[in-house]
């Protein structure tokens, strides 16, 4: 029982990342009709917003420490962050420690800006082209973006830890009456899950309860009619692209303490996120979220030692296997709408 609870927790956490990325993908597909293979790259760029802000906060000047030697035997050059000079060491350390949460504020305008630039500069030219062209151009863009990141940040993962307050893990087992240490879960992963829930809720609320959201939903259902009513739906869809980019970026920012970011992390999530979108149903926002959590949980269960002993290799194929079964039984996915990508 404890093992099942543990894997459900793991699945919720993995599913959070899948759901956030798939939500953005679906927003873009539902509004602009574009299959955006560069969406994983937006997740990665979001993560590197956290890395960049960490580096900005730790920008330093060098002080020579005559009492210590470097690896060549010369006096050691010690880096002292400018932030110490401004706020003092204690406050400076606290700000640096909280770099990841602070990065959210930094990432939102950056990601919205990148989203606008991507949509206006490249993707809008491919609206009327076949999906294959869109996939090729966005996939190419993803490769360009990750190579740019690799050029500036290198190929190795860059550690970007969570604030000290969120390090360590919470003993769920003890709380639920199980033996200690049977169900432990890192604090930051709980934060990530809660953060994902808030973002998903906010996006749904925005679309459901605002005039802007109502127009966008109307545009998603019938773009032509909304246009005929004199509403500039293209402008709103561009804004939605920016919002989708920001959602992916925020998912990336908050993911950095879970796994040290590297230039390739977007690609690692991209294929799975597309499977999530297809399983959830093309164009269905709630389907994307549901499928994200479902596949995350299934993937966690498939990684259990007892399952692997019975079905070796199942951990590598479970998501695709489930995708095949769902698409065979429900060709439009879990919550797919009629007419989407069926022409």
Partner 1 sequence: MSNSKLTRRGLIRTGAVAGAAGLALPTYLRADGHAGFLNAPQGDTVTLGFNVPQSGPYADEGADELRAYELAVEHLNGGGDGGMMNTFTSKALQGNGILGKKVEYVTGDTQTKSDAARASAKSMIEKDGAIMITGGSSSGVAVAVQALCQEAGVIFMAGLTHSNDTTGKDKRANGFRHFFNSYMSGAALAPVLANAYGTDRKAYHLTADYNWGYTTEEAVKTSTEAMGWETVAAVKTPLTQTDFSSYIAPVLQSGADTLVLNHYGGNMVNSLTNAVQFGLRDKQVNGKDFQIIVPLYSRLMAKGAGANVKGIFGSTNWHWSLQDEGSKAFVQSFGTKYGFPPSQAAHTCYVQALLYADAVERAGSFNPCAVVEALEGFEFDGMGNGKTLYRADDHQCFKDVLVVKGKENPASEFDLLEIVEVTPVEQVTYAPDHPQFAGGSLGTCNPGA
For partner 1, the binding residues (CB under 8 A) are: 2-3, 6-7, 9-11, 13-14, 68, 70-72, 76, 150, 154-159, 161, 167-169, 181-182, 184-186, 188-189, 257-260, 262, 264-265, 268, 299-301, 303-305, 308, 312, 315-316
Minimum CB distance to partner 1, residue 51 (Å): 12
Of 81 and 257, which has the nearer Cβ to partner 1? 257
Of 115 and 266, which has the nearer Cβ to partner 1? 266
Minimum CB distance to partner 1, residue 160 (Å): 8
CA distance 128 to 133: 10
Minimum CB distance to partner 1, residue 302 (Å): 8
Cα distances (Å, whole numbers) of residue 90 to 50, 83, 193, 224, 306:
21, 10, 30, 58, 48
CA distance 135 to 204: 26
Minimum CB distance to partner 1, residue 156 (Å): 5
Contacts of 279 (CB under 8 A, 6+ apart): 287, 291, 294, 295, 322, 323, 326, 327, 333, 334
Of 26 and 146, which has the nearer Cβ to partner 1? 146
The β-bridge relationship of strands 184-186 and 75-81 is unpaired
Contacts of 302 (CB under 8 A, 6+ apart): 308, 311, 314, 315, 318
Of 18 and 126, which has the nearer Cβ to partner 1? 18
Minimum CB distance to partner 1, residue 40 (Å): 12
Contacts of 212 (CB under 8 A, 6+ apart): 206, 236, 239
Of 221 and 317, which has the nearer Cβ to partner 1? 317
């Amino acid at each position: 029982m404890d093992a099942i609870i543990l894997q459900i927790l793991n699945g919720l956490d993995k599913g959070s990342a899948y759901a956030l990325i798939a939500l953005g993908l679906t927003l873009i597909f539902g509004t602009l009709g574009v299959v955006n293979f560069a969406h994983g790259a937006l997740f990665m760029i979001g993560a590197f917003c956290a890395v960049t802000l960490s580096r900005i906060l730790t920008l330093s000047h060098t002080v020579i420490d005559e009492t210590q030697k470097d690896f060549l035997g010369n006096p050691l050059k010690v880096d002292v962050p400018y932030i110490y000079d401004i706020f003092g060491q204690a406050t400076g350390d606290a700000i640096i420690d909280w770099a990841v949460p602070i990065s959210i504020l930094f990432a939102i305008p950056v990601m919205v800006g990148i989203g606008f630039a991507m949509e206006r500069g490249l993707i809008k030219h491919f609206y009327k082209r076949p999906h294959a062209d869109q996939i090729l151009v966005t996939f190419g863009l993803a490769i360009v973006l990750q190579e740019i990141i690799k050029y500036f940040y290198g190929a190795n993962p860059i550690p970007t830890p969570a604030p000290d307050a969120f390090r360590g893990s919470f003993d769920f087992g003890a709380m639920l009456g199980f033996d200690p240490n049977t169900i432990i879960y890192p604090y930051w992963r709980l934060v990530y899950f809660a953060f994902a829930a808030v973002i998903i809720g906010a996006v749904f609320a925005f679309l459901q309860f605002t005039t802007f959201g109502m127009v966008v939903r109307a545009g998603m259902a019938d773009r032509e009619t909304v246009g005929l009513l004199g509403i500039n739906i293209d402008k709103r869809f561009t804004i939605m692209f920016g919002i989708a980019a920001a959602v992916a970026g925020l998912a990336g920012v908050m993911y950095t303490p879970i796994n040290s970011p590297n230039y390739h992390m977007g690609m690692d999530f991209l294929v799975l996120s597309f499977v999530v979108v297809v399983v959830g149903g093309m164009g269905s926002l709630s389907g994307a979220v549901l499928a994200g959590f479902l596949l995350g949980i299934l993937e966690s269960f498939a990684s259990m030692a007892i399952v692997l002993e019975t079905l070796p290799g199942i951990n590598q194929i479970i998501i695709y296997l489930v995708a095949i079964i769902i698409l065979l039984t429900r060709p439009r996915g879990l919550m797919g709408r009629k007419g989407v990508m069926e022409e």
